[in-house]
Structure formats: C-alpha cells, structure tokens
C-alpha cells in the first residue's frame, strides 16, 4: 500500500491559503469498501505522515526497507513544539465529538470501513485530521497556482511503500469480489470493433484487420501481463480534490500528489471516495461508488450525499437549492448522527502543526538530493536540480524498445544554464544520429546541429539563427561530397548555394600545415527575385561547372510569362589560326531570351557579363571554401564547449555568482572595519576616572584638573608600559638568538645538515621578529609623544572638563 | 572671360568629336578591342567627358538617351540647351563656362549632382524639376540676393551646397542664414556644418523661419485641399454624375436664360422658384447618390472580374511553368545522354525521342493556352453582359429621374405662365400694385410676347436638362464600350504573346537539338 504523503496535503494547503475563499480544497481519503483498515494501521500510517510532514522542508527521506525505524529515528520529538505533544481542551472536545460521530457512523453503517478521523501523530497523540492542515502562503510565485504547486510537491517527495500493505482480511475479501481485480479483457473491445468492421468492410480487409488487431492484442496482452495488480481496488490512497467556483476554477478535479497531474473527477483510476476533509470540516461520502467516481456529486452542502461532522462551517459553499431541501429531508439523519446543538457552534480548532518552511535551496533542489528518477513503461525520466550536474544536465528521457528497458531507442537530454546555450541533446540510437538544439545566443548562432560524427566532411545539418548572422545563413547541409547552404534576407538575394566536391587530389609537395581543400566540381546558386531589377535581368540560378568551365544562368520568369531566359557561357580561352587570343566569339555565349533584346546580342555585353561571372565564380569558390573553414571552426568550438561545459550564473544569483559574492564580502569587510574604527574613536578615556566620582555632579575646577592629570599620567604610564613590553620582548628575542648562535658555533662541527637547516631557518625567523620588534619600538617612540599630546588636546576640549578651560580663560 | 582658352577658336560639338570622345572613354583592353570591332552606339554610353574643348554650344547630344554622367566643364558655353533628351542624367558638370541663367534642365528629373561653378549666374532659378538634387555647386557666380537661399528649401534631398565667392557669401550673416534656412544641409562650401552652428543659426533666425514655415504650411495645405477637391471631382466624373450634388444644374439652367431671370421678379415667382429649386436639387442629389452607388457596384464587379481573370491566368501560368520545368529536367538528362552516346543509330533514335518530347510539350502548352482562352472568353462575355446590363439599368433610372426633372420644369412653366398671364391682365387693366423692372415690363406688351418669353425660358431649361442627360448617357456608354473593347483587346494581346512565347521557346529547344545533331554528325 502506498503511503500517504501528508506533505502533499500540507503543500496544497499552503497554496490553498490565499485561495481559501476561492477554490475549495478538500482532502479526501478513499478506501475501497472491502478494505478493513485497522486502527493500528491507520496510526502507523499517520505516524509516517507526520514524520514526513515534519521533514518536509529539508530532510529527504530515502526509501528505507525498515519503515518504522526511520519513523523513530529521523524525528527528534523533544524539539517539537508543545502543540505536537498535548491536546488543548478544545481539541479534546473535538476528539470526543469525533468519537461520538464515529460510533454513530459505525452503528448506522456497519458494512463500511471505520472512519479515518484521529490518527496518532509522531508524538503518539491523537489528532483530528482536519487540524493537521494549516493553510500557509509560500513566498514562491510558482506555488501560487495548483499545477506548478502540484508538480513541485510530486517532485519534492519520494514515495515510500508501506511495509505491509496487505492484511490477511484483505486477501479474504479479494475472493469475495473477484470482479474488481480483473481488468476488462481486451477481447471484448476487439470483438465489438470487429463487428463494426464486419459491417463496414469487406471480408478480405477485415481478415487483414483482424490479423493486425490480434497482433496488437497480443502485444497489449503482453504489456498487460507485466502488471497484473493483485491489489486492484484495495489500495488506500489520499489525493486532493479541488472544487470549482473560486479562483477561476471551472470544474472539480483531482490532483494526484505523486505525479502532480490533474485528473477529471470522471477518471476511472479513482475507484471511490470514503471521506474527505479540509482544515474546516470532515465529510463522509454517502453515495454509491459502484461506477468509480463518475457519478459522485461534489456538493458538500447536500447532507444526503455528504455527511458532515461539524455543522455550519462551510455554509457558504453549499448550493442554495439543495440546501433548502436537504435541510428538511435529512433532519433525521443529522439527529441520528448526533449533531448536537453545541456542535453547531463548534469551530474547528486551529491547526497544531507548525508552518511549513521551504528554504530557497530546497525549493530549487526540488527533488530529494536534487535527483529524481521516474520509470515509465518503456521509458525512464531522470530529473536533476539546476547546477547539480556540472554539465548543466537537468533532465534525461530514455526511451526503450522493450518493456525490460534494455534496448535504448533514443535519449533526450535537456540542459540549463549552459554557456554554449545548448538546450536539448537528442540521440537516436537506432540511426546513431545526434541532434543538438541551442537557444539563441550561441557565439556561432547555432540553432540545431545534427550529426553522426564530429569529423568534418561527413553527413551533418547545421541550422542557424539567421538574424544573428551577418550572411543570413539558415541551414547548411553536408554530405561527404556536397555542401548545401540556405540563406534568407541577404542584400544580394542569394537563397541557396550548393557545392559538390570531387575527390581530393594528393599533393606530394604539400606541407602538413597547409590545408588541402577538395576540388570544387560544381557550384549552384539560386537567388530570390530582386524587385528592383526587371525579371529578364534578374538571375534566378547560376551554375558554375568549374571543371567543364561552363557557366549556366537562368533568369527569373516574368510575371506574365511561363518561360525564363537562359544563358550559357563557355569559358574557354582559345587561340585562332593566327595565334591571336580569341577574346569573345558568338558561340561562347548561347542564350535564350524570352523577349530578345538588342543590347544583349552585343559581344561587348556578353564579354562583360562573362568577365563579371568569372569574378563571381572566384568569389563563390572562396565562399564555399570559407564555409568549409567555418564548419571546421564550429566543430572545434563545439568540441571545446563540450569539454568545458561551462555554466552561466545569473548576476542575480547571489549564492552562485562568485564575483558578486566576493564583492559583497569585501563590502561587508569594509563595513566591519569601518565600524571597528568608529568604535575605537569613540573610546572614552575619561570614563574610568569619572566613575570614581559621584555621578551627575558638576566637576569643580580642582576635580577637573586632578582628573586630567590622573588621566594623562595613566596614559603616560600605559605608553611606557607598552614601550617596556616591546623592549622586553625585543631583548628576549635577541638573547635567545645569541644563545642559539653560541650553541651553533659550539656544535657546528657535529651538526647534521637537517639541524643546520633548522638552525638557519630559526635564525632568519628570529631576525625577522627582532626586526619587526625594533620597528615597532621605534614607531612607538615616535608616536607616543604625539598620542600624549593628542589626548591632552582632547581632554582639554572635553565638555565634561569645562572647568579646565575656565582656568586658562 | 579672360581665360587663355578664350583666344582659341570655338569648336562645334559634331559627330566626329563625340565619336572620338566615346571611343577614347569607352572600354579598354580586351573589351576595347571588342568595342572597336562592333562599334559603340551612342545610346549605350553611360558617361561622357567633354572638357577643355572650347565648346560654345551644346549640341548633338540627343542620341545619348541613357547617359548618366556628363562633363562639359571648362568650355565657353553660354546657354544650357540641348539636354532635353538626357532624362537619365544623374551627374552634370557645367562648371567653368559662361552661363548666365539657369535654364533647360526641366527634363532632368533624375539629376542628383549639378555643378555650375564659376559661371555668371545671378539668380538661382528654374531648378524645380530636379527633385532628387543632392549636391549643388554654385560657387564663384554672381548671386547677390540672400532670398535665393529660400528657393533652395524645396529640395528635400539637398545635402551639399557650395556658394562661396558669390556676392552673398560676403555678407556676415551668410553662413548662419543658410544653416537656418536649410536645416537638412550637411556640407556648406566644402565643410561639414557642425551641430553647434546649426543650433546657433536656428536660434538666431527662429522667428523668420517660423513665419516662413507657417506660410509654407499654409501653401501646402492649400495645395492639398485643391488636390482633394480635384480628386473628388474626378471620382464624381468617373461616376458620370459630377456637379449633380447641388444646384449646379439648376443654376446653369438660369445662367443663359435672360427671360427667366427677368420673370423671376414677377410677384409670386420668387417663392415658386424657391420651391422649384428645392425640389429640383433634391432630384439632382438623388441622381448623384444613385450614380455613386452604381459606380461602386460597377467597380466591385470589375474588380471581381479582374481578380478572377488574374487568378485563372496565374493558375494557368503555374501549370505551364510546371510542365516546362518537368520537361527541362528530362530534356537535360536526355541531352547529356545523347552527348555521351557514341553509336550513331542510337543517337538518332534519341534525338527523335527528344524532338517528340519537344512537340509533346508544345502540344501540352498550346492545349493549356487554348483551354484558358476558351475559359476566359466565356468569363469575359459574361462580364460584358453584366456590365452592359448594369449600365442599361443605370441609364434607365437616371432617365426616369431626369423625367421627373422635366415634369418639375413643365409644372413650373405652367405656373409661371399662369402668373405671367394674370400679371399681363393686371397690367392691361392697370391695377398692378408693384413696380416691375423696366426690362421686365417690356415683356408685358401683349400676350404673345410674354408667352414667347416664358416659352423660351422653358425651352432653355429643357435643353439644359436634355444636354446633361445626353452627356451622361453618351459618356457612360462610351466608357462601357471602351472597357469591353479593352478587355477583349488585352485578352487577344495576352494570347498572342503567350503563343509567341511558346513558339519561341519550342523553336529554341528544337534549334538547340538540331545544333547538337549537326555537331554530332560533324564529330
């Protein structure tokens, strides 16, 4: 059986506090009808709960095999406040009321499980469940809304199974109601489906479908086999119900504290509700749960459906129509259940538990030890607190092929606070393809980098944040023989560049430092339409066939045309029969023009166009070469980043930001020193002498003079003492040194090298000390008269010795 | 001027001189050889330099249609002329000449840089057409009036100005004045104007500038108003109901009607006229509003039509483009296959296949085009019917409204006649109380005269109404015919163009293939 986490409830309550008037939170405890929960069990459970509650802010309980042990060990009862150990008269009264209520209930409904009303807390004191709730407002905005709050609670807690969730009685009951335990056979579902298929589809298709279905069924069966739940319907579980109405909660829903997920009240995972409570009241479900919780009506004001324990606390939440009816009809029940008059005015006492405190560290760490592993079917999710892993890893999702979780399909790793802005790393184990996703801000403006290996000139796709790049590159795809680049928003309207490479030519004379770029066979460039140019002059695509010395141009298509102009230049340099170089001949440029123009026929025009293209080709080749270099650079940078995996720290993060910490500490030190200085300056020389005289009286002249003299002589004495002290130390040091020197000279011959070293180091240290003492002495001698004079001056100006001035005046 | 070149004989800008200059300044080296081989057409020349040539008169430049930059500095030109054809000119240098007035630049709307340094100009003027002017050099001239600066305010792009060594540059306020009045100027007399000077100048001349700005704003507002009015009228004209939104028609009826005006002084006619006018104007406004509504309707109809046609054509083009792209892909691969093939029979077979592909493409494209033509024809006919119907309905309604006008007029005429006759009777009987103007009294000689006069007035009114109606009907009908004609013509043009394009493309493909064939056979 799963242990209740009181913490959950506390947390929810914490959040609930400011929502108290808005959404009705109710704690509920559900027990399946067959379960006989004994008092001991409840107690034990409650103890655990109390434990956990106690521990919630800091101590994270690891799963322990011996549950009671940790219960006792981890809590120091003596440190708990008195409210934990005793019951106030009001609480005692409440317990009596609860006992009365419980007795009548078991009398009226003997079939049902005894109520879970007042378990023992960690100090073995019975406490009413509602008083264990204390609405608390936490200082974290994330805990203000239910979803993030629930998520936090689920992360913050570790599930510890109860040592013995099954009681012998439960097993007996199991046989009585076997239906509850069997899962609906999938066959039912299928046959119905098949019937539908029969109507709709032809025989052949149906057969195929059947086969497919059977396979699926088998797979399903196999999957189901893994978890035949012997305890289905027997578990006791607590969860949170949020009632609609306040804080824009549109409808009732459940929150499961273990996952932090919300469920509809119709969800079939919730088999029934025995009772529910909040910090004000306790209700028993009087509705039949045969159809799970689907038919339950959560109108807590309806006494037919919900039997309350205390009257008149939650009136405001009743729906009015029901209130009137129920008030009359269920008068008897109320009486029967012993709702005495005095109870009506009886308020729930204040909670006896202490307020929950969650330290910011604990809040940030979230999970116990900052790490949590959640096992799913064919998947595993691991979570870490930020900064826990040195590489910034915060969560990892591993997907497996099989149920045993041995064959990994893919791994997704999420990172945070990475300096290289890496956000997500996706590794597909079947194709071995790795994909890195980056947030904006990478020095190379990387967005996505997918690759199989970090070696250059291999298959890879790099996407960029094109607005962060000067050249507007969006994507660069590489295969061993090609490189394709996509651009956007360039002033030259280039949109695409494709380069294919030939095999690398071996250069024998090549020095190793020089790179040997692959020969470019072909460059294809495409351009967007440049609206400033007429279409027949705006190149749409140009192909440089480097090896064949061809240049092909295709122009943009005019708006009202379906064909586009084309031009092809043969870039051959030939020599005519006379040996002159042929500059340009008409057959070096083959062009097709949609609307033939005069000036393009000219050789001069063609020549200039070709010269231009030659230049452009050179540029493009250079560009391709630079792109290759850039890829190398990126790969190098990535490798470095991967190796260094530096994390960024926000300047507002006072705890982690070393720089700001240092600065702050320095500031504090300065402040402290300043303070010390101030204290020193405020030192009152006169105080000890004034203390001898009767206080409050004005000093006579004689007294003032006497006081002054006394003070000065005392100070003089102190200065002399200090000088003597320094002198004495100096002499002592000198003597010791002399002695040592003597000793050394006497024993010089017999000394071992170590002793000699020792002696030498002693000498140098002693010399240092002597020198320092000497300096101090000199300094003291210098400063002493000044200090004396300063004191005299000070005393002379002291208002308390005003008489002195009168003399001189 | 007493420059050394003055002693030389003035030269004429003839063909030889231009050819020589073009040849010298044309492409060099390899390109130059090509150029020489082919010859350079004047209209291909982009820049021309004709300095230190003692030219007296600018001439023979009309062929240089595409000229961007023209240098005529250091000549003895006295008058700016012969530049009308050089509409693309961006850069014009006329410095160191003997020009006295700025003129002949009205067609050079693209001019950005104009240098008139060292001339004899005394007034900045006639530059209105040069809206893109950025640099203006007028140093060393004879400009002596500061007010010339204000003329330069209209050039919003002007950034650089040179006016040094003019009489005005001697004035102590010269720099401040210019900075204040031309706040967008960046460089004055080859120096950058610093912000401090600008501020100072602004402060100094603030009042006068504010006044000037106010005047300019007023002018601008007036211009805009005028523009708006014109646009409004234009809009009404396209609806064929201009001047019907008021008493314009009514007033025009009485404008040429002397008898009617005289008769209006008859007792009782004043009020009659007033009510008549009111009713008449109401009908006119009805016509006007109806006209605008109908115009809107016609416009939406036309818009829908053009949009649909455009979409259809676009769709068709896309299909064509796809076909061609597909074909080209296949064609390219088969061409390269042919080039690599060595067996002659195979080559021939492949070439045959290729030409079959080409003719298939031709068929496909032509089918597409014919399909489109048919579709469009249908749509156009439908549109024609609709628009003609709409125009018919409009005319009918307007005519019925106009008939109401005529009824009103007849009614008024009868009343007037009645009053006139009763007045005549009164006059004859001699018991007319009021005094009538003399010219009016002259009409009341006998019954025929007065009836004739009233009839003439009525005839004039009817004529005016008829004229207005006729004008409206003729204009809308002609608009309709023209529109329909244009649509038909456009469609025919489009069709021809497309067929031509397809043929051209197919011919090109075929000839390419033929060339390949020849080449292969030669090999």
The mean per-residue pLDDT over the stretch A81-93 comes to: 82
d(CA A771, CA B176): 76
CA distance A379 to chain B (A): 47
CB contacts of B502 in chain A (<8 Å) are 562-563
Question: Which of B34, B38, B501 has its CB closest to that of A594?
Answer: B501
Question: Which of A583, A594, A599 has its CB closest to that of B30?
Answer: A583
Question: Which of A563, A599, A608 has its CB closest to that of B505?
Answer: A563
d(CA A524, CA A542): 6
Contact between A388 and A370 under an 8 Å Cβ cutoff? The reply is: yes
| Residue percentage of chain B with pLDDT more than 70 | 97
Instruction: Give 3-state DSSP helix, strand, coil % of chain A, rounded to 5.
Output: 45, 20, 40
A contact set with B (CB within 8 A): 557, 560-563, 583-584, 590, 592, 594, 599, 602-604, 607-608, 611
- Rounded to two decimals, the pTM is 0.63
CB contacts of A599 in chain B (<8 Å) are 44
**Where is average pLDDT lowest: A91-100, A165-174, B81-90, B389-398?**
A165-174
Closest chain A residue to the Cα of B512, Cα to Cα: A590
| A383 band by pLDDT with thresholds 50, 70 and 90 | confident
pLDDT tens for each residue of A337-366: 333 334 445 677 777 877 777 777 777 777
More confident residue, A614 or A180: A614
CA distance A540 to chain B (A): 14
| A324 band by pLDDT with thresholds 50, 70 and 90 | very low
**Where is average pLDDT lowest: A137-141, A584-588, B298-302?**
A584-588
Helical spans, DSSP H, in A226-354: 320-329, 331-336, 341-344
Contact between B105 and B84 under an 8 Å Cβ cutoff? The reply is: no
- Which tokens is A769 given? 């000390």
Burial of A150 (0-12, 13-18, 19+ CB in 10 A): buried
Tell me what pLDDT residue B218 has.
94
Domain boundaries, chain B: 11-223, 247-520
CB contacts of A557 in chain B (<8 Å) are 321
CB contacts of B324 in chain A (<8 Å) are 562-563
Kindly compute the dihedral angle of the four CA atoms of residues B422, B423, B427, B431, in this order, to the nearest 10 degrees: 80
Closest chain B residue to the Cα of A603, Cα to Cα: B34
Answer whether residue A761 shows pLDDT above 80.
yes
Answer whether residue B408 shows pLDDT above 60.
yes
Probe site for chain A from B361, B369, B505 (most A CB atoms < 10 A): B505
The mean per-residue pLDDT over the stretch B352-377 comes to: 89
Answer whether residue A4 shows pLDDT above 60.
no
d(CA B234, CA A543): 52
CB contacts of B376 in chain A (<8 Å) are none
Indicate the average pLDDT of chain B: 86
d(CA B202, CA B195): 10
| A794 band by pLDDT with thresholds 50, 70 and 90 | confident
Answer whether residue B64 shows pLDDT above 90.
no
Tell me what pLDDT residue A3 has.
36
Contact assignment for B505 to A608 by CB distance below 8 Å: no
Give residue A93's Cα distance to chain centre. Answer: 46
pLDDT tens for each residue of B323-363: 999 998 998 888 888 888 778 888 888 888 888 999 999 99
Measured between alpha carbons, how far is residue A270 from residues A185, A235, A293, A307 in Å?
A: 19, 11, 6, 20
Contact between B31 and A604 under an 8 Å Cβ cutoff? The reply is: yes
Question: Which of B34, B365, B504 has its CB closest to that of A604?
Answer: B34
Closest chain A residue to the Cα of B35, Cα to Cα: A604
Question: Which of B30, B31, B501 has its CB closest to that of A563?
Answer: B501
B contact set with A (CB within 8 A): 27, 30-31, 33-35, 37-38, 40, 44, 313, 317, 320-321, 324, 365, 494, 497-498, 501-502, 504-505, 508, 512
**Where is average pLDDT lowest: A271-280, A314-323, B255-264?**
A314-323
The mean per-residue pLDDT over the stretch B67-76 comes to: 91
| A5 band by pLDDT with thresholds 50, 70 and 90 | very low
Predicted-assembly ipTM surpassing the 0.85 threshold: no
Tell me what pLDDT residue B400 has.
92
Tell me what pLDDT residue A281 has.
80
SS in 3 state form for A110-174?
CCCCCCCCCCECCCCCECCHHHHCCCCCCCCHHHCCHHHHHHHHHHHCCCCECCCCCCHHHHHHH
Helix and strand element counts for chain A (H, E): 19, 25
More confident residue, B120 or B25: B120
Q: Closest Cα partner for A28 from A248, A218, A296? A: A296
Tell me what pLDDT residue B487 has.
92
Q: Which of A582-586, A660-664, A755-759 has the highest mean pLDDT?
A: A755-759
Answer whether residue B94 shows pLDDT above 70.
yes
Which of the listed CATH numbers 3.30.2270.10, 3.30.365.10, 3.30.565.10, 3.80.10.10 matches domain B11-223?
A: 3.80.10.10
Contact between A97 and A343 under an 8 Å Cβ cutoff? The reply is: yes
Contact assignment for A562 to B34 by CB distance below 8 Å: no
Contact assignment for A604 to B501 by CB distance below 8 Å: no
CA distance B155 to chain A (A): 25
More confident residue, A783 or A689: A783
Answer whether residue A334 shows pLDDT above 50.
no
CB contacts of B512 in chain A (<8 Å) are 590
Closest chain B residue to the Cα of A599, Cα to Cα: B44
CA distance B320 to chain A (A): 6
Helix and strand element counts for chain B (H, E): 13, 10
Tell me what pLDDT residue A802 has.
67
CB under 8 Å to A424, separation ≥6 — which residues? A412, A413, A414, A415, A436, A437
Probe site for chain B from A563, A578, A590 (most B CB atoms < 10 A): A563
Answer whether residue A233 shows pLDDT above 60.
yes
- Which tokens is B190 given? 């080859």
Phi, psi of A512 (to 5 degrees): -65, -30
Tell me what pLDDT residue A72 has.
43
Tell me what pLDDT residue A524 has.
93
Contact between A236 and A8 under an 8 Å Cβ cutoff? The reply is: no
pLDDT tens for each residue of A175-192: 333 343 434 333 444 556
Cα torsion A314, A316, A319, A323: sign: positive
Tell me what pLDDT residue A197 has.
61
Answer whether residue A172 shows pLDDT above 50.
no
CB contacts of B503 in chain A (<8 Å) are none
Tell me what pLDDT residue B91 has.
93
Answer whether residue A532 shows pLDDT above 80.
yes
More confident residue, A541 or A576: A541
pLDDT tens for each residue of B131-172: 999 999 999 999 888 888 888 888 989 999 998 889 888 888
Helical spans, DSSP H, in A330-440: 331-336, 341-344, 360-365
A-B Cβ pairs (cutoff 8 Å, strict)? 49
Measured between alpha carbons, how far is residue B232 from residues A408, B237, B292, B293, B483 in Å?
A: 76, 9, 12, 15, 22
| Residue percentage of chain A with pLDDT more than 70 | 73
Contact assignment for A563 to B494 by CB distance below 8 Å: no
Measured between alpha carbons, how far is residue A29 from residues A259, A277, A417, A548 in Å?
A: 17, 8, 41, 83
| B388 band by pLDDT with thresholds 50, 70 and 90 | very high
**Where is average pLDDT lowest: A262-271, A397-406, B388-397?**
A262-271
Measured between alpha carbons, how far is residue A565 from residues A538, A568, A593, B503 in Å?
A: 10, 10, 5, 14
pLDDT tens for each residue of B214-223: 999 999 999 9
More confident residue, B438 or B234: B234
């Amino acid at each position: 059986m799963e242990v209740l986490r009181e913490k959950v409830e506390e947390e929810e309550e914490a959040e609930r506090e400011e929502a108290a008037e808005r959404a009705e939170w109710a704690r509920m405890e559900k027990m399946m009808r067959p379960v006989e929960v004994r008092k001991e069990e409840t107690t034990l459970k409650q103890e655990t709960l109390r434990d956990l509650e106690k521990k919630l802010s800091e101590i994270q309980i690891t799963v322990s095999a011996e549950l009671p042990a940790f219960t006792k060990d981890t809590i120091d009862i003596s440190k708990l406040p008195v409210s934990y150990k005793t019951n106030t008269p009001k609480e005692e009264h409440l317990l009596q009321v609860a006992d009365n209520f419980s007795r009548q209930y078991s009398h009226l409904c003997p079939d049902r499980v005894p109520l879970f009303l007042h378990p023992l807390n960690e100090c073995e004191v019975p406490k009413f469940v509602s008083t264990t709730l204390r609405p608390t407002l936490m200082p974290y905005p994330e805990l203000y809304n239910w979803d993030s709050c629930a998520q936090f609670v689920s992360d913050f807690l570790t599930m510890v199974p109860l040592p013995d969730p099954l009681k012998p009685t439960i097993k007996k009951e199991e046989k009585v109601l076997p239906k509850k335990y069997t899962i609906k056979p999938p066959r039912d579902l299928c046959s119905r489906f098949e019937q539908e298929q029969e109507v709709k589809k032809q025989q052949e298709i149906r057969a195929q479908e059947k086969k497919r279905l059977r396979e699926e069924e088998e797979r399903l069966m196999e999957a189901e086999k893994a978890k035949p739940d012997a305890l289905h319907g027997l578990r006791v579980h607590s969860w949170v119900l949020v009632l609609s109405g306040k804080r824009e909660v549109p409808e009732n829903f459940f929150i499961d504290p273990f996952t932090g997920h919300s469920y509809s009240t119709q969800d079939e995972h919730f088999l029934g509700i025995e009772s529910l409570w909040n910090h004000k009241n306790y209700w028993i479900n009087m509705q039949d749960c045969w159809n799970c919780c689907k038919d339950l009506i959560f109108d807590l004001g309806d006494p037919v459906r919900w039997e309350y324990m205390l009257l008149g606390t939650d009136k405001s939440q009743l729906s009015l129509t029901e209130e009137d009816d129920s008030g009359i009809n269920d008068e008897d029940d109320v009486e029967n259940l012993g709702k005495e008059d005095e109870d009506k005015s009886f308020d729930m006492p204040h909670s006896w538990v202490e307020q929950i405190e969650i330290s910011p560290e604990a809040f940030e760490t979230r999970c116990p030890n900052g790490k949590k592993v959640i096992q799913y079917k064919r998947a595993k999710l691991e979570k870490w607190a930020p900064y826990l892993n040195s590489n910034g890893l915060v969560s990892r999702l591993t997907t497996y092929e099989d149920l045993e979780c041995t064959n990994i399909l893919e791994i997704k790793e999420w990172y945070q606070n990475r300096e290289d802005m890496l956000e997500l790393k996706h590794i597909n184990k079947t194709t071995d393809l790795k994909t890195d996703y980056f947030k904006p801000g990478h020095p190379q403006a990387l967005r996505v980098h997918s690759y199989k290996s970090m070696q250059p000139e291999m298959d890879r796709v790099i996407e960029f944040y094109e607005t962060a790049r000067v050249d507007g590159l969006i994507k660069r795809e590489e295969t061993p023989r090609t490189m394709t680049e996509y651009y956007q928003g360039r002033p030259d309207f280039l949109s695409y560049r494709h380069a294919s490479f030939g095999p690398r030519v071996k250069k024998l004379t090549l020095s190793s430092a020089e790179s040997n770029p692959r020969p470019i066979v072909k460059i294809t460039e495409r351009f967007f339409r440049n609206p400033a140019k007429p279409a027949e002059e705006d190149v749409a695509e140009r192909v440089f066939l480097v090896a064949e010395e061809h240049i092909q141009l295709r122009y943009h298509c005019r708006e009202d045309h379906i064909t586009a102009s084309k031009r092809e230049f043969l870039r051959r340099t030939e020599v005519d029969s006379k040996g002159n170089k042929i500059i340009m001949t008409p057959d070096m440029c083959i062009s097709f023009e949609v609307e033939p123009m005069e000036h393009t026929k000219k050789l001069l025009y063609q020549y200039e166009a070709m010269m231009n293209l030659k230049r452009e080709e050179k540029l493009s080749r250079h560009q391709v070469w630079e792109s290759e270099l850039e890829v190398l650079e990126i790969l190098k940078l990535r490798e470095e980043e991967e190796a260094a995996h530096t994390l960024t720290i926000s300047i507002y993060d006072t705890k982690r930001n070393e720089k700001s910490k240092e600065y702050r500490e320095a500031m504090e030190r300065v402040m402290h020193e300043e303070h010390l200085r101030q204290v020193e300056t405020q030192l009152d020389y006169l105080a000890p002498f004034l203390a001898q005289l009767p206080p409050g009286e004005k000093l006579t002249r004689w007294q003032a003079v006497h006081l002054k003299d006394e003070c000065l002589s005392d100070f003089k004495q102190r200065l002399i003492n200090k000088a003597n002290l320094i002198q004495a130390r100096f002499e002592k040091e000198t003597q010791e040194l002399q002695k040592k020197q003597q000793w050394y000279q006497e024993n010089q011959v017999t000394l071992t090298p170590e002793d000699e070293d020792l002696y030498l180091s002693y000498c140098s240290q002693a010399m240092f000390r002597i020198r320092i003492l000497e300096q101090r002495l000199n300094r003291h001698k210098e400063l002493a008269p000044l200090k004396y004079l300063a004191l005299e001056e000070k005393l002379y100006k002291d208002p308390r010795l005003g008489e002195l001035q009168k003399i001189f005046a | 001027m007493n420059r050394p070149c003055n002693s030389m004989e003035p030269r004429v800008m003839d063909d030889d001189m231009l050819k020589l200059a073009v040849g010298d300044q044309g492409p060099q080296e390899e390109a130059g050889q090509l150029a020489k081989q082919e010859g350079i057409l004047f209209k291909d020349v982009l820049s021309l330099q004709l300095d230190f040539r003692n030219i007296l008169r600018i001439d023979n430049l009309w062929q240089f249609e595409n000229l961007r930059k023209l240098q005529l500095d250091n000549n003895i030109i006295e008058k700016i002329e012969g530049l009308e054809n050089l509409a693309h000119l961006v850069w014009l240098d006329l410095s160191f000449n003997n020009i006295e007035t700025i003129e002949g630049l009205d067609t050079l709307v693209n001019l950005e840089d104009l240098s008139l340094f060292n001339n004899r100009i005394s007034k900045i003027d006639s530059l209105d057409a040069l809206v893109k002017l950025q640099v203006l050099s007028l140093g060393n001239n004879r400009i002596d009036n500061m007010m010339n600066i204000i003329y330069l305010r209209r050039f919003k792009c002007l950034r650089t100005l040179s006016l040094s060594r003019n009489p005005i540059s001697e004035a102590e306020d010269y720099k401040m004045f210019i900075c204040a009045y031309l706040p967008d100027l960046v460089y004055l007399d080859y120096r950058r104007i610093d912000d401090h000077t600008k501020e100072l100048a602004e402060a100094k001349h603030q009042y006068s500038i504010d006044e000037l700005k106010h005047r300019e704003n007023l002018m601008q507002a007036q211009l805009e108003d005028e523009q708006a009015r014109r646009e409004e009228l234009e809009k009404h004209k396209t609806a064929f109901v201009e001047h019907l939104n008021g008493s314009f028609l009514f007033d025009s009826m009485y404008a040429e009607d002397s008898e009617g005006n005289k008769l209006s002084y008859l007792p009782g006619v004043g009020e009659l006229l007033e009510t008549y006018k009111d009713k008449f104007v109401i009908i006119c406004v009805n016509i006007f509003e109806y006209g605008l509504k109908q115009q809107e309707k016609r416009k939406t109809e036309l818009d829908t039509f053009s949009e649909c046609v455009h979409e259809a054509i676009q769709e068709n083009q896309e299909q064509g483009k796809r076909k061609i792209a597909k074909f080209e892909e296949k064609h390219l691969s088969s061409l390269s296959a042919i080039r690599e093939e060595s067996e002659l029979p195979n080559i021939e077979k492949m070439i045959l296949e290729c030409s079959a592909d080409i003719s298939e493409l031709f068929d496909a494209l032509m089918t597409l085009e014919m399909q489109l033509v048919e579709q469009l024809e249908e749509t156009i006919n439908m549109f024609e019917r609709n628009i003609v119907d709409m125009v018919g309905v409009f005319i009918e309604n307007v005519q019925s409204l106009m008939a109401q006008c005529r009824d009103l007029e007849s009614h008024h005429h009868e009343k007037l006649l009645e009053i006139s006759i009763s007045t005549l009777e009164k006059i004859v009987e001699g018991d007319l109380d009021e005094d009538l103007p003399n010219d009016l009294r002259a009409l009341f000689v006998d019954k025929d005269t007065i009836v004739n006069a009233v009839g003439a007035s009525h005839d004039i009114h009817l004529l005016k109404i008829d004229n207005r109606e006729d004008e409206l009907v003729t204009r809308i009908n002609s608009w309709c015919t023209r529109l329909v004609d244009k649509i038909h013509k456009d469609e025919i043009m489009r069709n021809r163009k497309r067929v031509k394009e397809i043929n051209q493309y197919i011919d090109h493909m075929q000839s390419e293939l033929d060339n390949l064939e020849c080449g292969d056979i030669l090999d």
